[in-house]
Amino acid sequence: MSNKLSSPLKSDSLETVTNPERKLSWQVASNLFVSFKYAWAGITYAFRTQRNFKIHVSVCILALSLGIFLHLSAVSMAVIGLTSGLVLALELLNTAIESLVDLTVKQTYHELAKIAKDCAAGAVLVAAMVAVFVAGILIIPPLWVEVAGYLIH
């Protein structure tokens, strides 16, 4: 969710430049395994380089772990999983948009580039706030019961 307009990528981390296997990655993947490999490369790139993606993954794991600990219903766990997954997916899209904008404007400032990056970051923020709200509604009441039971005994 950064507003920096300079590219966060180092030239040595660009797989299309340094990895001959990816030089034709603009073409349709030759099979399903290759498609999944490219998708996983995007996820691992985001996890390695994007602080906010790491934060979202951690909060997602925490929410799902609390849900398991509190024996939440399957529907509650599905809702937490879906909202968390939406946040992660939007963070990946935000990273893609930021990279594409950086590629387009290079090291220059452009108001439309700022708008694109800010709106993408805003989408992630809205989804994250909704996910926290939903998880709070589903987790806090049973957590409160669990803590109160622990304190009474």
Q: What is the pLDDT of residues 67-108, one digit of tens each?
A: 999 999 999 999 999 999 999 999 999 999 999 999 999 989
Structural domain includes residue 97: yes
Residue type, 95: T
CB 144 within 8 A of CB 35: no
Residue range(s) defining the domain that contains residue 61: 51-152
| Highest mean pLDDT out of 9-13, 124-128, 146-150 | 124-128
> 2 lies in a domain?
no
Give the total number of structural domains in the chain. 1
Q: What is the DSSP string of 31-90?
A: SHHHHHHHHHHHHHHHHHH-HHHHHHHHHHHHHHHHHHHTT--HHHHHHHHHHHHHHHHH
pLDDT per residue as tens digits for the range 10-68:
444 444 445 555 566 567 778 888 889 999 999 999 999 999 999 999 999 999 999 99
136 lies in some domain: yes
Q: What is the 8-class DSSP label of residue 8?
A: -
Q: What DSSP assignment string belongs to 10-44?
A: -GGG-HHHH-GGGTTTTSPPSSHHHHHHHHHHHHH
Task: Assign 121 to helix, strand or coil.
Answer: helix
Residue 84 lies in a domain: yes
Q: Is residue 6 part of a domain?
A: no
Domain of 135: which CATH number? 1.10.287.3610
> What does pTM read for this prediction?
0.78
Q: Is residue 8 part of a domain?
A: no
Rounded to the nearest 10 degrees, how much is the dihedral formed by the CA atoms of 124, 130, 133, 135? Answer: -80
Q: Does a structural domain hold residue 18?
A: no
Close Cβ partners of 130 (under 8 Å, ≥ 6 residues apart):
83
**Is residue 15 assigned to a domain?**
no
List, by residue number, the catalytic residues.
Answer: 91
